[in-house]
């Protein structure tokens, strides 16, 4: 198989683009796709300060690498979840990348330790409040990333979600008709209210395999092992199903997710059979329902935000 | 050839020569969810692997949120 552009031996075939690339042309393809995502979705500009959420995995480190290569100002935040055997290893990977690559671009790595601030590792916290580890983890990560972004005056927060992540999440939401979540599935979520950082996903045009290939080709040392809590997750099942479809007809994932984005951009939501006024934009809806948390003043739809509620329950649980 | 697999980590011995795509099929793995690495280099699905090659099949799909 030869490179479609320069005809030397290819290192990767991309059936959905009917292409194959050598290393140099593949890197160019990746940077092009990310640039297209950033510009097309108006994610950020040259002068914006970006905070990348890194986990030590392939997606987030590749994202940090790509943004720095493209000349953007991007620092990163790693949240240490305190999962024995996994957190230390993944943190080392993030640190190594920060010391080896990011430093030469004058970018820095911030670290948040859950055990220090929340008082226990993620698994103990989940036990205390009787909630699944991943949902506890999600609440803490969302909260801490947003807080770091807002308090340290970053203009936008970027995550390494790829096409497979977005397509599988969409599949899950559609299978259960969770229409209220569909609104938030875009690759660029505006900072709708004071205290909420803008959130973007610059890798949404690249498949998970493409992002992994970029990391391998560019010698990014990432953690290959999964977080042990991910085992048996629904997302893995959805991704597997989509990849089987993709194998039979290349381009399925992109058609599914990007088709959804186009539809969402074009069509006003249908109401109960009657003609409805144009739906309020998400920012307007957020402004109408969000206000500062009584405890920490980050925006929430309730009196007290879900993070503060969770921490209160954990405290009560641990003193019992 | 020695083939290194993950999740769970293990080594299997496979007789070469064999094309990448046939190796994956024999192991019941799909290309879209894996990268095949020979030595330090990525290889495409039509590449012919030889008996003396060191091969890693790396899963690329991760779960969680
Ligand atoms: S798998 Fe679950 S616990 Fe592990 S990082 Fe992902 S959300 Fe957190
Ligand atoms: Zn080329
Ligand atoms: Zn709060």
Atom of ligand 1 nearest to the CA of A227: 4
CA of A8 to the centre of ligand 2 (A): 6
Mutate to test the pocket of ligand 1, among A114, A137, A169, A239 (most ligand atoms within 8 A of CB): A137
Q: Which of the pair, A282 or A31, is modelled with greater confidence?
A: A31
Strands in B1-65 per DSSP E: 2-5, 10-13, 18-19, 34-38, 41-42, 48-49, 54-59
Domain membership of residue A60 (yes or no) is yes
For residue A133, give the CATH number of its domain: 3.40.50.620
- Domain hosting residue A65, numbered range: 43-225+234-264
Shortest-distance ligand to the CA of residue A297: 3
pLDDT value of position A281? 67
Strand order in the sheet with B34-38: B10-13, B2-5, B54-59, B34-38, B41-42
Q: How confident is the model at residue A277 (pLDDT cuts 50, 70, 90)?
A: very low
Q: What is the mean pLDDT of residues A128-156?
A: 93
Per-residue pLDDT reduced to its tens digit, A29-39: 999 999 999 99
A70 has a pLDDT exceeding 80: yes
Q: What is the pLDDT of residue B64?
A: 60
CB atoms A11 and B42 under 8 Å: yes
Is A88 part of a structural domain of the chain? yes
Query: Model confidence over A184-195: pLDDT tens digits?
Result: 889 999 887 778
pLDDT tens digit string along A32-59?
999 999 999 999 999 999 999 999 999 9
**Mean per-residue pLDDT, A289-302:** 88
Ligand 1, atom 2, lies closest to the CA of A134
| Ligand 1 first shell, C-beta below 6 A | A 122, 133-134, 137-138, 227, 229-230; B 64-65
Helix (H), strand (E) at residue A20? strand A19-21
Instruction: Please indicate, yes or no, if residue A22 is contained in any of the structural domains.
Output: no
Cβ-in-10-Å burial (0-12, 13-18, 19+) of A279 comes to middle
Across A75-84, A276-285, A301-310, least confident range: A276-285
Out of B33, B41, B64, whose CB is closest to A230? B64
The whole-number pLDDT of residue A171 equals 97
In this prediction, residue A278 has a pLDDT band, given cuts at 50, 70 and 90, of very low
Average pLDDT score, chain A: 91
- CB distance A119 to A318 below 8 Å: yes
- Please list, in sequence order, all residues whose beta carbon lies within 8 angstroms of the beta carbon of residue B20, skipping any fewer than 6 positions away: B36, B43, B44, B45, B46, B47, B49
Percent over 70 (pLDDT), chain A? 94
Per-residue pLDDT, averaged over A195-221, amounts to 96
**For A227-273, how does the pLDDT look when each residue is reduced to its tens digit (9 = 90+)?**
988 888 899 999 999 999 999 999 999 999 999 999 988 876 554 44
Q: Is B33 on the interface with A (CB under 8 A)?
A: yes
Number of domains in chain A: 1
- Is the pLDDT at B39 greater than 80? The verdict is yes
Domains in chain B: ranges and CATH: 2-59 (3.10.20.30)
Res A280: pLDDT: 57
């Amino acid at each position: 198989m030869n490179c479609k552009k320069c005809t030397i031996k290819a290192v990767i075939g991309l059936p959905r683009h009917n292409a194959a690339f050598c290393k140099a042309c593949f890197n160019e393809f990746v940077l092009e796709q990310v640039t297209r995502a950033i510009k097309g979705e108006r994610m950020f500009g040259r002068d914006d300060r970006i905070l990348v959420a890194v986990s030590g995995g392939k997606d987030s480190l590749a994202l940090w690498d790509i943004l720095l290569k493209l000349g953007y100002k991007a620092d990163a935040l790693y949240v240490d979840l305190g999962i024995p055997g996994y957190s230390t290893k993944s943190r080392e990977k993030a640190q190594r990348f920060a010391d080896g690559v990011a430093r030469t671009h004058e970018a820095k790595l911030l670290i948040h330790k859950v055990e220090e601030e929340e008082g226990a590792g993620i698994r103990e916290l989940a036990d205390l409040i009787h909630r699944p580890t991943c949902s506890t983890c999600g609440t803490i990560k969302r909260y801490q990333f947003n807080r770091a972004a807002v308090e340290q005056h970053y203009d936008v927060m970027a995550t390494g979600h790829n096409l497979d992540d977005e397509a599988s999440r969409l599949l899950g939401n559609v299978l259960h008709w969770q229409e209220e979540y569909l609104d938030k599935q875009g690759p660029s979520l505006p900072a709708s209210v004071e205290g909420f950082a803008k959130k973007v996903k610059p890798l949404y045009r690249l498949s998970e395999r493409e992002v992994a290939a970029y990391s391998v080709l560019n010698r990014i040392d990432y953690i290959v092992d999964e977080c042990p809590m991910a085992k048996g997750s629904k997302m893995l099942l959805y991704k597997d199903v989509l990849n089987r479809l993709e194998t039979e007809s290349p381009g399925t994932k992109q058609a599914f997710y990007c088709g959804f984005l186009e539809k969402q951009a074009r069509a006003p939501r249908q109401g109960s059979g009657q003609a409805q006024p144009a739906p309020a934009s998400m920012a307007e809806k957020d402004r109408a329902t969000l206000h500062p948390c009584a405890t920490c003043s980050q925006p929430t739809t309730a009196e007290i935000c879900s993070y503060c509620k969770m921490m209160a329950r954990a405290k009560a649980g641990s003193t019992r | 050839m020695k083939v290194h697999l993950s999740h769970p980590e293990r080594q299997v011995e496979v007789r070469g020569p064999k094309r990448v795509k046939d190796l994956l099929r024999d192991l019941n793995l799909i290309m879209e969810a894996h990268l095949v690495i020979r030595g330090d280099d990525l290889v495409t699905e039509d590449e012919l692997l030889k008996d003396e090659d060191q091969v890693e099949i790396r899963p690329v799909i991760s779960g969680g949120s």
